[in-house]
Amino acid sequence: MTADKLFLLCIDGSENSFRAATFIGELISEMDAKITLLYVLHEEEAVRMPIPPDDNTYLSSSNIAPAVKILEELKVDYAVSVQIGNPKEIIIEMSPKYDAIVMGYKGMTGRSITEVLFGGVAEYVLHHSTRPVIMVP
């Protein structure tokens, strides 16, 4: 049986992304829903990782492990996807398979007020996604 709702949870290793994991995990813990926890490695980062990379290689990574722990403690059905490339492009490419995208946002740097509030990747996803985007501070 497949889950009624599918959420793409974008993790970048920041505290904000872990708060997003807690938010969506608590929200759906009583629902028939599933989360795909997405971590995108930039190509420069990927060359330093074991080859061939697979999702299990990264589960103990400090960038992913806290989110995995949160979802497991909340007993949420999840899968992990580790991709290599540009986070903006990969999130948008993957998004049509999901009911919503969940992201944390920084609110610290950027040029425009939107970038200040949401950050570069979050702003891009917010403006280019055809799916709802849930931003968690």
pLDDT digits (tens, 9 = 90+) for 37-80: 999 987 776 666 655 555 555 666 778 899 999 999 999 999 99
| Confidence at residue 43, expressed as pLDDT on a 0 to 100 scale | 75
CA-nearest of 42, 134, 127 to 87 is 42
Position 110 confidence tier, pLDDT thresholds 50, 70, 90: very low
Contact 97, 130 (CB under 8 A): no
Give the number of domains in the chain. 1
- Domain extent, residue 35, equals 5-136
Region 113-123: what's the mean pLDDT?
A: 62
Indicate whether 93 pLDDT > 80: yes
Indicate whether 95 pLDDT > 60: yes
Region 96-102: what's the mean pLDDT?
A: 97
Chain centroid to CA 39: 6
Higher pLDDT, 123 or 107: 123
Whole-number Å distance between alpha carbons of 46 and 56: 14
CATH number at residue 47: 3.40.50.620
